[in-house]
Amino acid sequence: MLRILCVVGARPNFIKIAPLMKEMARHPDRLEPILVNTGQHYDQEMVDFFFADLKIPEPDVNLGVGSGSHAEQTARIMMAFEPVCQQYSPDLVLVVGDVNSTLACSLVAVKLGIKVAHVEAGLRSFDRTMPEEVNREVTDLLADCLFTTCEDANVNLRHAGVPQDRIFFVGNVMIDSLLEHLPAARQRSIHEKLNLKEGEFALITLHRPSNVDDPQTLKQLLEAFEHIQNRLRLIFPAHPRTLKNLEEFRFDKKINRMHNLAIMPPLGYLDFLALMDRARLVLTDSGGLQEETTILGVPCLTLRENTERPITIAQGTNELVGTDPQKIMAAADRILTGQKRRSQAPPLWDGKASQRVIQVLLELAR
């Protein structure tokens, strides 16, 4: 029996852990998963939405660390997670993605002599100004089992000196969740409530500090949105941090001029997926949305200068446009005039990645 502490902390983690927990439950005689929610994502209502939509079991442990600076949050997670490891004495700590919980719990496990498995290993933007990049690099150096989504991740790990026998190319567990829940999402009525027709609106997400904490950068993005909303309705489920800064930087007049822009609270997984599936265009600084739009075949403009998911550009619908309003507007205009990129699903993005992860873990249990 392999006892596994499965760590989640923020919304992207929930999407990745859901198919893994479901697959582990198929082997109750060999795997004992214990779900730990660090509470890094502190909006409990949204956490509840995601757990319900994704059918994730109630966490066995809630650490409730809340928000804070990167140092504060990482330290609080480490302090709260260490007693959990001592209480449960796991054989393995499984972490997903690249948030502070991923790094903090990996550090605790290694210092206690517990093996670490990292799902979604090897992704690199090569930009250490992104906190997630540091989390990815350090976690990959600490991990004993590194589960990758694509071949460029395998190359990155080999270049970093990770032994080949620690690297397992399994595919993308986030796509497992998407493919499983897409039929249910297509039954949702969120588009009707918002009076939206398929292909006649764009979806926006913004949350990265580099985009929303700098008033000049945020102003540039709003200029691009103002142009695009003249041609297409914009739906903007806004992160609390983004909403706070829009108000603090006094952009309310600019926003009020955009009669075709609708800003709303964050949405649950199924409602957001339902909108993304019907959107003409997605504008985002998220990592996961670059992958999801690739599978859905929805054009995606990534509002960043780099990406840790270059396969979505090579094989998907994704285009890096940065924060220059002229570049964003030109790319959006090309899409809206009918120039649509073809999308090809990357290898092993087939909805079975979690099965391949669990097969490796079963070998460890043996």
Q: Which residues does the annotation mark as catalytic? A: 207
How far is residue 116's CA from residue 95's CA, in Å, rounded to a whole number?
7
* 346 DSSP assignment: P
DSSP 8-state assignment for residue 149: S
Cβ atoms < 10 Å from Cβ of 133? 18
Contacts of 259 by beta carbon, 8 Å cutoff, 6+ apart: 229
Cβ contact 284:204 at 8 Å: yes
- With tokens 């499983």, the residue in question is 180
What's the rounded Cα separation, in Å, for the pair 22 and 17?
A: 9
Q: 336 is written with which tokens?
A: 């809206």
* The one-letter amino acid at 146: L
Report how far apart, in Å, the C-alpha atoms of 318 and of each of 43, 293, 306 are: 29, 8, 12
Angle between helices 269-278 and 173-185 (to 10 degrees): 80
What is the sign, positive or negative, of the torsion defined by CA atoms of 125, 126, 130, 132? positive
Alpha helix positions (H), 267-324? 269-278, 288-296, 311-314
d(CA 197, CA 223) in angstroms, rounded, equals: 25
Residue pair 305/324 in contact (Cβ under 8 Å)? The answer is no
Residue 86 burial (CB count, 10 A): 10
Residues with Cβ within 8 Å of 232's Cβ and at least 6 positions away in sequence, in order, are 200, 201, 202, 260, 280, 281, 332, 336
Phi and psi of 126, rounded to 5°? Answer: 60, 35
